[in-house]
């Protein structure tokens, strides 16, 4: 006799389970790719037209003439084929028999826990992609069919760098110098971006340097637990990182000694592409779980599925080294 728990993993049941679980928080997704810019995509691939990247203003056309075609700039990405995240949890036949003896409420509690574990794995992994995306290039560990490790890469381009002097941790640097440096970064950003919701991301090293300057500029530099206000510029402390299986160590979202500045309202998007799944009806959804019966060994796998693709607008990103 086959034991199945599929009724706990339908689209409706999954939605209800997720609504019972607390919201997950990850810094780069929440700040740069928040809910309003996340899109369920009906296809498994993304074309340039899908990305919604900004274009320059276009010429007028004479009456009766052909329309003005919007085409990608030379060197732009033409097609992206996102890879999948598929974490799984296995229950042996003996475990399935024990679970099957539970009443419906007990089963639901257990499966909610499984769903929670799988969604956290997918969310952390999507956050890792988002961390890489804001550098302009995704270069992420990819497990191949033979169990080896390769790299999945998507190159969106290289964000421009801004030269800031004097450095903010120099002894003689003044508040005015820091404000001028902020202005240089923003002016450079606005050469290629129309965005107005500008955020500055920093690590603890830059946070400490600004906090030290606040000691003699308390009215001008305001220090908070998770950010620093320098005039009207807000610097978010961002310690986001991810694990690299290739390098066997953590990678930070923000480079040492640097400020990463982004106009987050300028065409940043996070797509959830269509899944290769009959059970999910090939839908583009952020997260799905399906049950899979196995014969050797006998048991059931619960497989989480997601095909995310964070898409940055590199024209709306600047990197500046501000410390010596």
Range 220-225 contact pairs with CB under 8 angstroms and sequence separation of 24 or more? 220/175, 221/175, 221/178
Q: Are 198 and 242 found together in one domain? A: yes
| pLDDT for the residue numbered 145 | 86
Q: Are 128 and 239 found together in one domain? A: no
pLDDT of 63 above 90: no
Residue 111 sits in a domain of what CATH number? 3.15.30.10
Query: How far apart are alpha carbons 104 and 122 in whole angstroms?
Result: 27
pLDDT of 74 above 70: no
Which domain, by its residues, includes 202? 160-264+316-321
Q: What percent of the chain has pLDDT over 90?
A: 85
| pLDDT for the residue numbered 241 | 94
The encoded tokens of residue 263 equal 């106009």
User: Residues 96-146: pLDDT tens digits?
Assistant: 999 999 999 999 999 999 999 999 999 999 999 999 999 999 999 999 888
Is-contact 72 78, C-beta < 8 A? yes
pLDDT of 55 above 80: no
- Residue range 298-305: average pLDDT? 96
Residue 197 sits in a domain of what CATH number? 3.30.1930.10
Residue 62 lies in a domain: no
- Residue range 68-81: average pLDDT? 77
Average model confidence (pLDDT) for the chain?
93
Q: Are 147 and 14 found together in one domain? A: yes
Sign of CA dihedral 41, 42, 48, 54: negative
Is-contact 159 262, C-beta < 8 A? no
| pLDDT for the residue numbered 76 | 65
User: Residues 230-280: pLDDT tens digits?
Assistant: 999 999 999 999 999 989 999 999 999 999 999 999 999 999 999 999 999
Residue with the bigger pLDDT between 53 and 72: it is 53
The total number of structural domains in the chain stands at 2
| pLDDT for the residue numbered 1 | 62
Residue 193 lies in a domain: yes
| pLDDT for the residue numbered 75 | 58
**Banded pLDDT at 52 (limits 50, 70, 90):** confident
| pLDDT for the residue numbered 174 | 94
Residue with the bigger pLDDT between 178 and 54: it is 178
Residue 70 lies in a domain: no
| pLDDT for the residue numbered 59 | 87
**Radius of gyration in angstroms for the set of CA atoms belonging to the chain, rounded to a whole number:** 24
Q: Are 179 and 299 found together in one domain? A: no
Q: Are 167 and 235 found together in one domain? A: yes
| pLDDT for the residue numbered 68 | 84
pLDDT of 224 above 90: yes
Q: Are 97 and 21 found together in one domain? A: yes
Q: Are 149 and 167 found together in one domain? A: no
User: Any residues with CB less than 8 A from the CB of 213 and at least 6 apart, and which?
Assistant: 168, 173, 175, 178, 221
Query: How far apart are alpha carbons 237 and 157 in whole angstroms?
Result: 25
pLDDT of 197 above 80: yes
């Amino acid at each position: 006799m086959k034991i199945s728990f599929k009724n706990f993993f339908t689209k409706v049941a999954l939605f209800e389970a997720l609504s019972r679980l607390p919201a997950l928080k990850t810094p780069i997704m929440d700040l740069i790719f928040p809910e309003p810019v996340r899109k369920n995509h009906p296809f498994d691939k993304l074309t340039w037209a899908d990305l919604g990247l900004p274009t320059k203003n276009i010429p007028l056309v004479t009456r009766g003439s052909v329309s003005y075609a919007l085409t990608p700039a030379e060197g732009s990405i033409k097609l992206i084929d996102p890879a999948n995240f598929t974490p799984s949890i296995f229950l042996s036949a003996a475990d399935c028999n024990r679970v099957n003896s539970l009443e419906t409420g007990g089963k639901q509690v257990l499966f909610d826990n499984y769903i929670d574990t799988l969604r956290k794995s997918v969310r952390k992994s999507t956050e890792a992609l988002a961390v890489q995306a804001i550098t302009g290039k995704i270069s992420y560990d990819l497990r191949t069919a033979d169990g080896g490790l390769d790299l999945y890469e998507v190159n969106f381009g290289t964000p421009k760098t801004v030269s800031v002097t004097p450095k903010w941790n120099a002894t003689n640097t003044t508040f005015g110098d820091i404000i001028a440096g902020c202005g240089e970064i923003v002016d450079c950003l606005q050469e290629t971006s129309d965005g107005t919701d500008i955020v500055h991301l920093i690590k603890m090293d830059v946070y400490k340097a600004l906090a030290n300057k606040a000691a003699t500029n308390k009215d001008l530099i305001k220090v908070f637990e998770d950010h620093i206000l320098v005039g009207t510029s807000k610097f978010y402390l961002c310690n986001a990182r991810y694990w690299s299986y290739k390098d066997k160590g953590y990678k930070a979202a923000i480079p040492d000694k640097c400020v990463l500045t982004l106009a987050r309202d300028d065409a940043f998007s996070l797509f959830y592409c269509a899944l290769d799944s009959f059970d999910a009806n090939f839908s583009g959804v952020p997260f799905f779980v399906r049950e899979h019966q196995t014969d050797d060994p006998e048991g059931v796998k619960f497989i989480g599925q997601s095909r995310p693709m964070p898409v940055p607008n590199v024209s709306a990103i600047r990197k500046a080294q501000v410390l010596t």
